[in-house]
Chain A
């Protein structure tokens, strides 16, 4: 193999490090997105037998959002193996204990259960806040787009903008301002 071809091979199969901001994202929706990047399914050279998966760094995993009342309805099951060893942990309890666990489990379950899955999971880094170790952050060269729009709180919008925003409703004539 000539030197140029060898470099070509390295370039094609180079691993890219992606960053994903979990703020206000549904972990089960975003797991399907992250999964594609971890397994390399976003590449035109993808084949289940070639090793072309990328590395994904998830940040702000504490800020994930679940839908409706799922924080108290969704339960995570664990069994120690001993009789009476079953336990059910609610999503908010699990998130209190380890804010990275929900997104990790979601990505793990989004992938097919084969021998490759645990090795693919090794390429996923999850941090519960924005601070990422320097040696990991310096590799990051790409960002994965979120699926949901991050909502803005009313008190974070400047007061002038709120005042100048076009009004849909006008008060009736005899309304007492409150």
Chain B
């Protein structure tokens, strides 16, 4: 029953406000798009405006920094995050917030363009930062913005150890006895 209601609701919503992303994406994709809605009387105009990326000016790439030595050309070139060689921690919110949407959701790999390992690492660090309450302005609207108002153990400050992200791959002292 609940499912039926949900489907009906979403249908109704689509019928009323036809702002689904898909209808835009089917157009020829050329540039960064900003979806703008404006209401004139009873008609709702929705348009996808191509805008220049706000980040191009501030973009940093390892190959543009003087003194950068690229790895051996025979091996695969590293992704831009690996090339920078930064030891990012979950407290570096200024870096991590670039990889999330406005609702705090991690962007997929086809958009971030990271390698698999970095995507996993940064995704987990974003989770850590969210759990520690460091990026609470990048959360869905129904979230409690104040970490103090969370319940039970979530109420108190928590910090994380970044080594636990790839703990699986760190050999334990007893592993050498394994056959």
Interface residues of A (CB under 8 A from B): 24, 26, 63-72, 90-92, 95, 148-149, 151-155, 157, 162, 164-178
Contacts and interface: CB of A to CB of B under 8 A. Distances in A.
Contacts of B31: 173-174
B59 A177 contact: no
Interface in B94-153: 94-95, 97-99, 101-102, 110-113, 132-138, 152-153
Prevailing SS type, chain A contact patch: loop
Interface of B: 21, 24-25, 29-35, 48, 51, 53, 55-56, 58-60, 80-81, 84, 91, 93-95, 97-99, 101-102, 110-113, 132-138, 152-153, 155-161, 164
B134 A71 contact: no
A167 B30 CA distance: 22
A153 B160 contact: no
Given A24-B157, A92-B152, A153 B136 contact: yes
A128 B59 CA distance: 43
Given A63-B157, A92-B156, A154-B138, A171 B55 contact: yes
A157 B95 CA distance: 13
B98 A169 contact: yes
Contacts of A174: 25, 29-33
Contacts of A155: 136-137
A165 B51 CA distance: 20
Nearest to A99: B156
Contacts of A165: 58, 94
Given A151-B134, A168-B80, A169-B55, A68 B32 contact: no
Contact of B159 (A67, A92, A168): A67
Contact of B94 (A154, A172, A176): A154
B97 A162 contact: yes
B59 A26 contact: no
